Amino acid sequence: MLGLANAELARVDPLEMNLLVGAELPLLATLEIGTYQKQADNWAADFQSRLPGMEVAFSRRPGDWKHDIDFFRLGQLCWYVDEVLGIRYREDQRDLRHVLYTDPSDLFLNGVMDTRRGTCANMAALHVALGWRLGWPVSLACVGSHLICRYDDGKVTHNIEATNNGSGGFHSHPDSFYRVEFSLPERAIQCGSDLRAVTPREMLGLFYGFRARHLENVVRLEEAERDYLWARALFPPSRRLYNAQM
């Protein structure tokens, strides 16, 4: 994957990309990636089968959804992940200021898919993996040390907050909200680090950053340094990855 251009990486399943990076860790070395791909395929197919019935509600009240069918569909996917799949943010980590990711499953997709409990890293990635299966232009986006799912079709953008769940699961805040809530400096936006949909190559860099964070937290610092270097080579503007390595 490291040798692929963005156009080629765009055809790679983000779930496979995520778990291939994770599977190089001893604790995740026995992952059956194909099993997780099949599970995600089934979830996406189930959601797709429900969508025509859901869209009746949009036709009745399009103004509630910005008159944007894609925005409505994003909302319904969030509802599906929340209410049908029952996925929640890890309760024991929600109010912590600093988390030690000694278990890499808290960062990679196998964790949230196995336990239905996750973090901003794997919950946002799950929304991206499902959206990719539906053919939607979605990717990860950085907001400081936080991650969201971002829809960007070249004309319209929507931010999807993957971790606010338990009551329908759909929260779409404008960029202005995140600038204030996370005290984002203007430089973070101007340099291309934050509040934009990352490219497939940059997303691979973020997955390397996940692995580096785990290695750092279990004090395998030489390996963490190597992965942070890979991460930054793949996503050079990222302030998140620069600060982590420094």
**Inter-helix orientation angle 33-60/14-22, to 10°:** 140
pLDDT of residue 167: 65
pLDDT per residue as tens digits for the range 187-246: 999 999 999 999 999 999 999 999 999 999 999 999 999 999 999 999 999 999 999 999
Cβ atoms of 1 and 9 closer than 8 Å: yes
pTM of the model as a whole? 0.95
Rounded-to-10 torsion of CA 219, 222, 225, 229: -150
**What percent of the chain clears pLDDT 70, i.e. is strictly above it?**
97
| Among candidate residues 30, 21, 44, 39, the one with its CA nearest the CA of residue 203 | 21
Cβ atoms of 122 and 130 closer than 8 Å: no
CA–CA distance, 44 with 134 (Å, rounded to integer)? 7
pLDDT per residue as tens digits for the range 10-69: 999 999 999 999 999 999 999 999 999 999 999 999 999 999 999 999 999 999 999 999
Domain extent listing, the chain: 11-184
